[in-house]
Every structure is written in C-alpha cells, then in structure tokens.
C-alpha cells in the first residue's frame, strides 16, 4: 500500500515502525525522499518528504509489497531501486503477476525523455497519460505534480530495459556516462563481459577515465545479472586498481570530467550497497567501492591548483619566467590532461623529496604508496621523467595541493573520509572517531572501531542516497580494524582472550558482510561463550565446538561465494589482457584475505584445540574404521574427492583430501581417505566408505595434518595408516613390500576386481499409477515396498507414514513409446548406443552422452494421455500436471547422474538392466530431519542406535552439507524405560533446507539395495512444484541445543521408532530416514523411507 498522505495519518501503524537512525546534535535527523511501504512481512520502510524521524526497513525485510496500480491492489516483487543522485530521481522496478512497473520519483518540474531497449519507440499501450512522441525513437513524459511517474509493461511483451534521460527546461541531464537505465529483464552476463573485453583489448584510445564511464553504464546490468555479474564488475575494477589494466592509452580529458565521472560511479556503488536485492551483489558493490576514488571535489582545482603553486612560488611555467623545474613542468602537463589517483602518490613522493632532498626518498614513497617506478612514470601518455629540483619552500603549498588531489582521487582513506564526513555526523560520533584517530595505536582501538561502525551504520545501511563518503569511511574503518587485529600477538594469548577476539571480529564483520550465516553464528557464539558459562564441563565444550564450527563454516561459505564469483573472471582477464599469472592464480584468495573476517581462520584453530581438550575429544574423528589392520597404499593429495570421480586407480592409494561434498563415490583401490572437513557419520559418503571397508577419518589438528601432507611427493611414497585403540590414525612410511603384500591379499572390498551385481527382476503392469496396496516386488523398488510395510505397522506404533503412490517400473519406457515422444525416443536410443560403445572401448571419465541423455530425458519428453490424469486423480495429489511430470522426468533423468552411471559401470550393472519407479509421496513440513541406523555404524553394536538430526529437510544431512548434525548414540534402556543417550556432537550446519512444495518425487530403482552395496543417494529425489530454500540456521534459539528435556524427548521418540521399524522389517538393522514435526508443543515422527542397513 503506497501512502502519499501526510505522515501523521500513519500513527495507527507506529507499532510496526522501528527507529534506527542517528540524531544530530540539535535533535534533527537525516532522512531520505521517497515513500512509505507496508511490506508483506509487516514492516514499514519510511522515506520522509519533510524532516522527521529517520526510519528504515531492515535488510532482511521481504522484497514483496503491495502496490495500487490503476486502482487495483496487487502484490509485486521489488527487483531494484536506485537513487540517481545526479538528477535527484529514485528509479524502482517491480514485477507483478502479469506486468512490470517502472516507478520514477523526483522533482515534478522535470520531464522524462525515454524509449525501450536500444532506443526503440515504446508501444502506445505503455505510455502514461500526458506522454508525447517527439521523434521516431523516443517519447517524453512529464512527472506528475506529486513527482511520480509509473510506466507499466505487460509481461508477455516486456522489453529488456527502459532507457531515458531527463529534460529540465532546455537542459539535458544524463547519468555521467550515458543514459539512465532501468532493467526489467536481466541481461546476460555474457553481454556485459563481451563489452568490457572488447574495450580493454581493442580500443586504441582507452584510459582509467573511459573505464570509469563504461563501468557506470554497465553496473546496473551487472546487478541485474546477479552475483556472477557483479563479481565481474568487481574483478574488473580491482584489476584496474592494481594497474594490471592500462590507465593511459592515447587519451586526454579534463580533470573536472574525471572528478565528475568518478563521483557518479562511486555514488552509484554506494547506493547499490543499500539497494541491490541480492546480498552478494551488495557485498560486491561495497568491495568495488573500496577499489575506487571518491570523485567529486572541485576537479578544476586539480588543473588550476598546480598552476597556482608554480606561479605563486616563482616556478617557470610555459613562457612565464622563473625557476626551471622540468619535473613540475611535465607533471603539470599530466595533471592537465590525464589526472588519476596516481597523482596522490606522486605528490606524496615529491613531498618526501622536498623534505630530504634525497631522490631515494622519492622512489621509496612512490613504490610503497602506489607501486610507481621510474619506468611506469616514463611510460605515461605524458611522461614524467625529469629529476625534481629541491625547493623546500614548496612543502606548504604542496601539502595544500595534496589535499586538493585527495578530495577527488582518495578512496577509503581513513583520515580523508573522516574530514569529508565530520560535518555531517552527530557531535558525539564525530568526537568518537576523532578521539580514536588521535589514539589510533592504543590497545582499545579495535573495540572502539566496532562501536563506531555500529553507530555509523545508521547513516548508510538500507539508506539509498546516503552519500558515498559514509560508505568509504566505513570501509576505511573496517580496513584499519583488520590491520590492528593482524598485529595482535595471538600466539601469546590464552583461550579466553582468543574467544574475546573472535567475538570482536565477528561483531565487526556482521556490520557489512551481507552474510546471514555470519550473523547467526555470532549470536550462537555469544550465547555459548557467555562469561558465566565458560569451561563448565564436557557438554558445554561440545556446544562451544559446535559454535566454533558454525563460525568456521560460515566463514568458508563467505569465502566460497567470493571465490566462485570472481576467480573465473580474473582468469578471463588474464588470458584476454595478457596479465601475468602471479596476479591471477591467487586472485580470489587475495581478495578473501583482504576481508577483515578472514583473520578468524587461524584463531579458530587455536580455540578449537582448547575446546576439544575440554570436551575430552582427540584430534581425530573416525567416520568409517574399515577392515582391521594397517591400510597400505601410495599417499596422494586431492583438493576434492570429486576430481577423481570416474578415474581408474590401479594401485592401492591413500588420499589426503581438503574437501568432501558428501555425495562422491570412493574409487576402487582406495584404502583410506583423510580429510580436515567434518563429515556426518550417516551421510552418503560415510555409508559408502563403510560398505567398501575404507578407512575414512577427519583430522582437526592442523599440525598433525601438515605432518601427514609432508609425506606426499610427486613420485608417490608408500605409507601405512593404522587406527589405534585411542581412535587416532598414525600415518608412517611403509616399504614397497608392504604394498605388494597388500595387493596380493584376498577379500578386500576395495580391490580392483569386483563381483558384478545383479539387479532385481521386474514384472510389467498396465497401470500408470499404483496405490500402496498394489505395491509388489518386481513392480516397484525397495523404498515403496518398505513404505507399504511401514504403513501397515504405523497405526499400531503411532508412527506417521506419508501417503504415497508409485509410477511402476516400465512407466518411463511406456512414455517413450507414445507417438508424441518419437523424436526423443530416437535421440535417447542413439545416445545410449554411443554410450555403450564408449564403455566397451574402456574410455575413462564421464562421456558426454551421459549428460546429453540426462538433459534429453529431463526436458525432451511430453506426458502421454492418461498418465497425469490418473496421477492427479489421487485425492491428496494437488500439484499441477506440469509440476508432477517435471518431477517424474527429473527422477528418470537421474539414472544418468554422473555418480550413478559411474557406480553402475564399476559394479558391472548395464544401463538397460536398471529400471526406475517413482514414489510420489506427501512432503511433511519438517521441523527436523533425521537418519537412524539401528545398529551402531562404527562398532556394529546391535544394542546401540546411532542417529543424526538437522534443522529442516534431510538433504542437508545425507548430502553432508558443511557443518555437523546433532549426533547421538542411544544404548539399551534405563530402569525407567529410557535409553542411555550420549550426545556426540551438537549441530553446526549453517543452512537449513525448507521447501514450500507439498509432494516429493522419490527415486526407487531396482539397483540400489543390493547386497554389500550402498546405493543410497545415487539417484535423485526432488520436490514437486517447488524447490529448496537455504535459510540460515540460528542455533542461539534452537531448543534442540538448549532444552535438554525437549531434546531427550525427541531422541527417545526416534529410538522407539527405530526399534519398532527394525522389528517390522524382520529384525534386520535398518537405515531409516524421516522427519520430526514439533507444533504447539506436540511432537510427531514421520518415516519417509527405510532400507536394510549396510553393516
């Protein structure tokens, strides 16, 4: 609901408004111009039309809101909102059900001169009232008396963008680099990349000034393309700031134009830090701003200021007589035509020379402050090569000139930005910053910086048009904080001091990291490490380890987001622009290390050692113990286990691996996998390791891991890994004879020769859909059969089993036989024949036909008559036919998942022998998801139930999402009928999966539950009509962590369920997946599937 009424009429809504803005010394507040929106989430964002309290929508507020268009209220999604400071307009783009809306707000005296796409005439139906066509390309629309203009584009024919300039009387206003742009449909990032690469590699005349102008024109497209697009913009600007892209190539420009261009781009970036919808885009906008000069100031003062210095101090200039200094003359020429941020460094170096008369000081400062060398000065379009004359009387004038340069060219310079902002800050905050700078080397400064940044955030966070100087000041404070923390002598700190440093660094990071995971991690950390609770026992230490792990995983996610979105672009620039490898290979790593939160890594390792000792836990965690005796093999290092999927390993091997995804297959002949990454005991990879008798262990001690890695050499060294009685793994060199002896040993499940597995036979049925009572062996897989057995048991045991139906074996083949799918059938047959030939030829890796088959099945089929009608006829199946068929094709296509195909190849299962039924099941809205093994998977103890729980959906658990699940072992029963419960680990996964879909389509093949074969997770189960949402898990308020009684009740219910399911399945140990729903204090357990446990 858009309110244009006076603010007092909103008093009924004051309970929804949160005041968060700073107040000036006189009690006034700084605000914005705009409107009030009542968001779907029940929050108000406020933008004043006259001085009032400054209120803002929190960054976490919903992007959906209600607008009234043509007297019809409807919900729309806010795609973007940008305040164009140069013209005083706010441009917002919203997406409705069947239309896009561009809303422009500003001075009602101005007129929009606009068109669509690349200056194409807008259709008449899209033109607001009062619009006039002025030529064959554009129309003009005056803003309404209230300063607003809403342009509606039907979704079916919506252009990709609206382009416009502003007419103010006879004056034309653009955005400093071209046209204003409002994107309705995101442009492809490929288009943005192509324009930049063409400019950087083919333009004969190209400079930093041209780059800034092009970036201004493309940054909106980068945001519209998402994090990968903004990652490209940042990578480009960072490489430019590193001077790996040319600043001078045959161009001249005036200093006032450079100042204006820099100001426009830096202000646009500052706005995007607040308004970009995607948190990663906001982060990249901030990181981009950190590489840039502030712009603005009086650009003409750069040109005239150097002339005044020379004329006022008797320096020869042109034909004017005076002291001859060729250095000043040549620098003066550069300042007139090619001024850049390098001029600050040149001025600082010149001042150092004026102070000492030593050119060594000049080149020292030039290099230290800006990496300037004699060669780089000589290579400029206007070379600066002469040696300056020592003129000490210029020190005062040049210090003044240095300030002129900094007002335009300085970026996140702490002292400069403080001076720029001081007059706009409330008196108390301005004094705090000034006092901090005066005492900048005192021990208390890091904590004071966090306090200052928290208060300063009220000036910029969620505040479009806040002013780039506030953002640059905050960036400078954050950068200085990182420097101070890096200087700390952390090696000499005790555990409590280290904990306090982590709290301080996290508190600083969440101000601007745009990471909800880091925010939740800080809250969890603070609650666990409350001063009164510290070091209170083993259980506390396990919670503290979970908190530390949550921080580490959040940091890893933060770093991975940056790396994934910048490293590919850096490598592209390296190739196209001939940049040296040493600037490219570690580009993303250096970017991550430049973030203040990156200092946490080594601190967490130190804290972790103290916590593991208190928790009475050693440096090792054994996920799979493998066969008894030493594991012997050639030791090799892998960054990821995924990198050897499909590879043939001919000799016994021990891998040291940095990262596991949880869904990999372990290749044959792998004896042992050692990793630093925590691994859920009941994840798919853990189950496969135990099925193959592979020793899988996590080492939490970096020193021990480094010692093991030290055994690795390019030639390959034979080692043995021995699991000792204390639960530690000892790795040491072994003789070649030991490897030969191991290779000759019989009976190892990891040996190269493996018995071919035989899939279960199938029987045909004419039905498209089978109800539960019709589930039979040969028609459906083990999941469906066990589900029916559970359904029969459920009533007696008070266990809920979701309703289900199945598409039996042979349904996929029947779909192919339908005439509508004739072309797809031929394509699939041809690809399958080609794939079989590659397998016969012994080709390693994953042939291209595997992914082509997957794509064809997933997207190339149409439902035959009768199939969707029969499935939709089931009363509780309430998704659309399209969504249902998409879910079925996703399951069928997963027959050609990479891992599934590789696994069949390894086990000798022909593709044509694999048949897939689809179990369509109700999706239970889970509070928690769990996996139970009714026999302990490590020890094999039949009296112990091992379980793991995660928040939300179970894919986070079985897929080994980063972090740990709540892991427990429940053994026997106490005298009161309750199991003896032992908590192994508290949860630390930073993401919980939620889903709005009502159904799941589950894979159920005849090739999963085979003897001595862990087939779980090979094939896909997918939500129908929705997708997973990755939400931040906040353990600070999670009863599973803090409420002992509630947690024990949940675990006891799971233990009782597991034993009942095992009994219903003939006493065979079971691998059970399900969910727990806690609603209104009532707890219920639902079993999703069960299968025989691989023991």
SS3 state of residue 64: strand
Alpha helix stretches (DSSP H) within 641-719: 684-691, 702-709
Average pLDDT over residues 585-610: 90
pLDDT above 80: residue 441: yes
Residue 53 pLDDT: 29
CB 592 within 8 A of CB 566: no
**Residue 880 CB partners (closer than 8 Å, separation 6+):** 1025
HSE-CB at 425 with a 13 A cutoff on CA atoms is 26
Average pLDDT over residues 216-231: 92
**Residue 497 CB partners (closer than 8 Å, separation 6+):** none
148 by Cβ neighbours in 10 Å (0-12 / 13-18 / 19+) ranks as middle
Sign, CA torsion 207/209/210/211: positive
pLDDT band per the 50, 70, 90 thresholds, residue 1015:
low
Alpha helix stretches (DSSP H) within 726-821: 736-744, 782-797, 811-817
d(Cα 478, Cα 287) in Å, to the nearest integer? 12
Q: How many CB atoms lie within 10 A of CB 749?
A: 14
Quick one: what percent of the chain has pLDDT higher than 70?
A: 88
Residue 798 pLDDT: 66
Question: 411 φ, ψ to 5°?
Answer: -105, -120
Helix (H) or strand (E) holding 214: helix 208-224
d(Cα 544, Cα 28) in Å, to the nearest integer? 44
Give the lowest-confidence range in 121-135, 813-827, 973-987.
973-987
What's the farthest any 2 CA atoms get from each other in the chain? 107
Give the residue from 198, 243, 192 showing the smallest Cα distance to 219: 192
Give the lowest-confidence range in 55-59, 185-189, 408-412, 891-895.
55-59
pLDDT band per the 50, 70, 90 thresholds, residue 346:
very high
pLDDT band per the 50, 70, 90 thresholds, residue 467:
confident
Structure-token pair, residue 123: 């259709």
Helix (H) or strand (E) holding 520: helix 516-528
pLDDT band per the 50, 70, 90 thresholds, residue 15:
very low
C-alpha dist (Å) from residue 1060 to 19, 798, 934, 973: 55, 10, 10, 15
CB 742 within 8 A of CB 632: yes
Task: Report pTM.
Answer: 0.82
pLDDT above 90: residue 480: yes
Give the lowest-confidence range in 475-489, 588-602, 760-774, 824-838.
760-774
Per-residue model confidence as pLDDT tens digits over 378-403: 888 888 989 999 999 999 999 999 99
d(Cα 1095, Cα 1093) in Å, to the nearest integer? 6
Give the lowest-confidence range in 20-34, 123-137, 279-293, 625-639.
20-34
| pLDDT higher at 341 or 50 | 341
331 by Cβ neighbours in 10 Å (0-12 / 13-18 / 19+) ranks as buried
Sign, CA torsion 1070/962/548/676: positive
The CA-based angle 1036-1038-1039, given to 5 degrees, is 130
Residue 494 DSSP code: -
Give the residue from 711, 636, 698 showing the smallest Cα distance to 667: 636
Per-residue model confidence as pLDDT tens digits over 514-565: 999 999 999 999 999 986 778 888 999 999 999 999 999 999 899 999 999 9
pLDDT band per the 50, 70, 90 thresholds, residue 951:
very high
| pLDDT higher at 229 or 909 | 229
Instruction: For 932-956, give the DSSP string.
Output: EESS-TTT--TTEEEEEEEEB-THH
d(Cα 1048, Cα 783) in Å, to the nearest integer? 29
Residue 682 pLDDT: 77
Mean residue pLDDT across the chain: 84
**Residue 155 CB partners (closer than 8 Å, separation 6+):** 95, 96, 97, 98, 99, 100
**Residue 129 CB partners (closer than 8 Å, separation 6+):** none
Residue 780 DSSP code: B
CB 83 within 8 A of CB 182: no
Residue 563 pLDDT: 93
Question: 473 φ, ψ to 5°?
Answer: -65, -45
Residue 52 pLDDT: 28
- The alpha carbons of the chain give a radius of gyration, in whole angstroms, of 33
**Residue 710 CB partners (closer than 8 Å, separation 6+):** none
d(Cα 217, Cα 222) in Å, to the nearest integer? 10
d(Cα 992, Cα 952) in Å, to the nearest integer? 5
**Residue recorded with tokens 């025989």:** 1092
SS3 state of residue 1035: helix
Crossing angle of helices 468-487/279-289, nearest 10°? 80
CA 205 to chain centroid: 37
Long-range Cβ contact pairs of 331-335 (< 8 A, separation 24 or more): 331/306, 331/384, 332/306, 332/307, 333/382, 334/380, 334/381, 334/382, 334/384, 335/255, 335/302, 335/303, 335/306
d(Cα 792, Cα 771) in Å, to the nearest integer? 14
Give the residue from 737, 643, 736, 660 showing the smallest Cα distance to 694: 660
Alpha helix stretches (DSSP H) within 102-207: 189-202
d(Cα 906, Cα 889) in Å, to the nearest integer? 25
Report the C-alpha dihedral over residues 253, 258, 264, 265, rounded to 10 degrees: 100
Per-residue model confidence as pLDDT tens digits over 709-767: 998 887 788 999 988 877 789 999 887 666 665 554 534 444 444 455 556 677 778 88
Structure-token pair, residue 1041: 């962590």
pLDDT band per the 50, 70, 90 thresholds, residue 815:
very high
| pLDDT higher at 54 or 343 | 343
CB 906 within 8 A of CB 754: yes
774: left (phi over 0), alpha (psi -120 to 50) or beta: alpha
Quick one: what percent of the chain has pLDDT higher than 90?
A: 51
């Amino acid at each position: 609901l858009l309110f244009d009424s006076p603010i007092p009429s909103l008093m009924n809504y004051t309970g929804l408004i949160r005041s968060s803005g700073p107040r000036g010394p006189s009690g006034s507040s700084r605000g914005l111009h705009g409107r009030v929106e009542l968001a779907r989430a029940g929050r108000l964002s406020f933008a004043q039309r006259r001085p009032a309290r400054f209120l803002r929508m929190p960054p976490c507020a919903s992007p959906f809101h209600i607008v009234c268009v043509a007297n019809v209220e409807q919900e729309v999604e806010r795609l973007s909102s940008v305040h164009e400071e140069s013209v005083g307009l706010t441009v917002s783009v919203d997406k409705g059900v069947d239309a896009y809306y561009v809303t422009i707000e500003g001075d009602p005296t101005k007129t929009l001169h606009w068109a669509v796409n690349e200056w194409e005439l807008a259709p008449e139906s899209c033109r607001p009232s009062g619009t006039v066509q002025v030529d064959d390309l554009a129309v003009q629309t005056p803003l309404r008396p209230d300063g607003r203009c809403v342009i509606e584009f039907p979704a079916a024919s919506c252009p990709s963008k609206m382009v416009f300039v502003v007419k103010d009387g006879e004056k034309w206003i653009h955005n400093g680099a071209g046209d204003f742009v409002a994107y309705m449909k995101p442009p492809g990032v490929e288009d943005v990349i192509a324009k930049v690469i063409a400019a950087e590699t083919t333009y004969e005349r190209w400079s930093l000034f041209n780059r800034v102008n092009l970036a201004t024109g493309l940054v909106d497209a980068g945001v519209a393309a998402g994090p990968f697009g903004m990652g490209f913009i940042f990578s480009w600007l960072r490489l430019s700031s590193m001077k790996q892209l040319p600043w001078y190539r045959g161009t001249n420009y005036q200093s006032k134009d450079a100042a204006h261009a820099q100001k426009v781009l830096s202000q646009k970036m500052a706005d995007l830090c607040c308004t970009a919808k995607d948190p990663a885009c906001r982060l990249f906008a901030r990181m981009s701003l950190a590489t840039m000069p502030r712009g603005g100031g009086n650009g003409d003062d750069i040109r005239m200021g150097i002339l005044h210095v020379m004329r006022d101090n008797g320096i020869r200039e042109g034909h004017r007589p005076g002291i001859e200094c060729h250095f000043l003359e040549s620098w003066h020429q550069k300042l007139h035509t090619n001024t850049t941020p390098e001029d600050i460094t040149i001025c600082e170096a010149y001042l150092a020379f004026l102070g000492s008369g030593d050119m060594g000081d000049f080149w020292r400062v030039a290099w230290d402050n800006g990496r300037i060398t004699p060669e780089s000065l000589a290579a400029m379009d206007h070379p600066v090569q002469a040696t300056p004359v020592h003129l000490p009387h210029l020190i005062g004038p040049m210090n003044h000139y240095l300030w002129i340069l900094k007002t335009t060219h300085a970026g996140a310079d702490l002292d400069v930005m403080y001076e720029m902002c001081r007059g706009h800050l409330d008196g108390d905050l301005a004094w705090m910053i000034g006092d901090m700078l005066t005492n900048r080397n005192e021990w208390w400064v890091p904590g004071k910086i966090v306090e200052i940044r928290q208060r300063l955030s009220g000036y910029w966070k969620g505040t479009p048009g806040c002013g780039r100087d506030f953002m640059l000041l905050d960036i400078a404070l954050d950068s200085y904080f990182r420097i101070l923390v890096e200087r700390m002598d952390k090696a000499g700190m005790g555990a409590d001091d280290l904990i306090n440093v982590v709290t301080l660094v996290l508190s600083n990071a969440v101000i601007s990291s745009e990471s909800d995971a880091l925010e939740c991690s800080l809250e969890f950390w603070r609650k666990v490490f409350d001063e009164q609770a510290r070091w209170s026992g083993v259980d506390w230490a396990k919670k503290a380890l979970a908190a530390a792990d949550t921080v580490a995983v959040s940091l890893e996610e933060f770093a991975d987001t940056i790396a994934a979105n910048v490293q590919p672009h850096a490598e592209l620039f390296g190739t196209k622009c001939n940049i040296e490898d040493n600037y490219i290979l570690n580009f993303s790593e250096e970017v991550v290390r430049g973030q203040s939160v990156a200092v946490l890594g080594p601190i967490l390792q130190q804290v972790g050692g103290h916590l593991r000792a208190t928790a009475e836990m050693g440096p090792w965690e054994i996920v799979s113990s493998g066969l008894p005796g030493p594991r012997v093999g050639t030791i090799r290092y892998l960054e990821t286990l995924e990198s050897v999927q499909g590879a043939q390993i001919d000799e016994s091997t021990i891998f040291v691996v940095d990262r596991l995804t949880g869904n990999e297959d372990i290749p044959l002949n792998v004896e042992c996998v050692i990793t630093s990454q925590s691994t859920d005991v009941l994840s798919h990879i853990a189950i496969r390791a135990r099925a193959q008798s592979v020793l899988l262990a996590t080492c939490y001690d970096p020193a021990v891991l480094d010692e093991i890695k030290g055994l690795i050499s390019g030639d390959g060294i034979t080692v043995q890994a021995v699991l000792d009685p204390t639960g530690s793994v000892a790795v040491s060199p072994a003789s070649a004879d030991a490897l030969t002896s191991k290779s000759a040993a019989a009976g190892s499940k990891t040996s190269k020769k493996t018995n071919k597995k035989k899939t279960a036979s199938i029987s045909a049925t004419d039905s498209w859909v089978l109800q539960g009572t019709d589930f039979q062996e040969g028609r459906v897989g083990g999941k469906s059969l066990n589900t029916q057995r559970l359904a029969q048991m459920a009533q007696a045991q008070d266990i809920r089993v979701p309703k289900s139906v199945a598409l039996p074996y042979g349904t996929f083949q029947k779909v192919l036989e339908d005439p509508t799918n004739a072309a797809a059938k031929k394509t699939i047959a041809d690809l399958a024949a080609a794939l079989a030939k590659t397998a016969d030829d012994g080709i390693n890796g994953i042939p291209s036909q595997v992914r082509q088959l997957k794509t064809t099945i997933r997207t190339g089929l149409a439902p035959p008559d009768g199939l969707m009608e029969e499935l939709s006829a089931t009363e509780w199946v309430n998704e659309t036919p399209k969504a249902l068929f998409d879910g079925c094709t996703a399951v069928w296509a997963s027959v050609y998942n990479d891992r599934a195909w590789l696994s069949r190849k390894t086990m000798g299962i022909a593709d044509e022998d694999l048949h897939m039924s689809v179990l369509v099941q109700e999706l239970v809205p889970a509070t928690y998801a769990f996996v139970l093994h009714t026999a302990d998977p490590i020890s094999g103890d039949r009296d112990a139930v091992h379980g793991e729980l995660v928040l939300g959906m179970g894919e986070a658990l079985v897929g080994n999402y980063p972090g740990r699940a709540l892991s427990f072992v429940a053994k026997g029963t106490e005298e009161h009928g309750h199991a003896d419960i032992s908590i192994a680990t508290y949860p630390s996964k930073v993401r919980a999966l939620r889903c709005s879909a009502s159904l799941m389509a589950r894979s159920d093949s005849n090739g999963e539950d085979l003897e001595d074969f862990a087939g779980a997770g090979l094939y896909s189960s997918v939500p129908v009509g929705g997708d997973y949402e990755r939400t931040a898990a906040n353990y600070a308020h999670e009863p599973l962590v803090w409420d002992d009684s509630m947690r024990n009740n949940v675990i006891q219910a799971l233990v009782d369920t597991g034993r009942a399911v095992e009994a219903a399945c003939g006493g065979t140990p079971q691998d059970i997946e399900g969910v727990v729903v806690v609603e209104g204090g009532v707890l219920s357990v639902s079993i999703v599937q069960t299968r025989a446990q691989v023991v």
